Structure 1
Amino acid sequence: MKIYVRERQKVGTGVKQPRFRVVAVTGEKGDEMHFKIESVHFRKTELEQIAKDVGAEVVYLEEMPEEERGEMRAAAAV
């Protein structure tokens, strides 16, 4: 099982808010393992503890460069 997360964009440094957002969760169908997320934002320690308890791996997604985000928005507007 893998838990895919990314850093939230609107949280500044030093702010006491959860920095990570769960993007997706994958699991096995053979064992019919189900995993339901109740919260939206998590702290890194919370994610690592959940992953340890359910035997999952946390995958931290890389941030998209600002230049690429601008190009994608311009292409979507056309």
Structure 2
Amino acid sequence: MKIFVRERMRAEEGTKKPRFRVVGVQGGDLKIYAKRIRKVELKELAEHTGAEIVYLTRDGEGAEGKKG
């Protein structure tokens, strides 16, 4: 099983906000109801389910989703 996440732009380290957004889950029988999740919570989920965490990269610009 794999859990795909990406780091949020507005939540830097030390801001006391969840830093990651769950994008999708492959395989297994896991339902995640939270939109945003902390790294500690993510690691604990992966540990208990035997899942691998896949960190998706960002381009840093955010230009692809903008309407022009």
Deviation at 1:12, TM superposition (A): 3.5
Moved over 6 A (4+): none
> TM (normalized to structure 2)?
0.84
Summarize the Cα distance change of 1:3–1:15 in structure 2 as closer, same or farther, 3 Å threshold: same
Deviation at 1:13, TM superposition (A): 4.0
* Paired position in structure 1 for 2:8: 8
Query: When you count strand as a share of all residues, which structure comes out higher?
Result: 2
Rg larger in structure: 1
**Mapping of 1:1-78 within 5 angstroms?**
1-27=1-27, 33-66=28-61, 69-70=62-63, 72-73=64-65, 77=68
Matched residue type, 1:40:
K
User: For this pair of structures, how many residues does the alignment match?
Assistant: 68
> TM (normalized to structure 1)?
0.75
**Percent of aligned pairs sharing the same letter:** 46
Unaligned runs of 5+ in 2: none
Deviation at 1:17, TM superposition (A): 0.6
> For the residues of structure 2 that align with 1:73 and 1:7, how far apart are their CA atoms?
16
Query: When you count helix as a share of all residues, which structure comes out higher?
Result: 1
Matched residue type, 1:42:
I
> What SS does structure 1 have at the residue aligned with 2:44?
helix
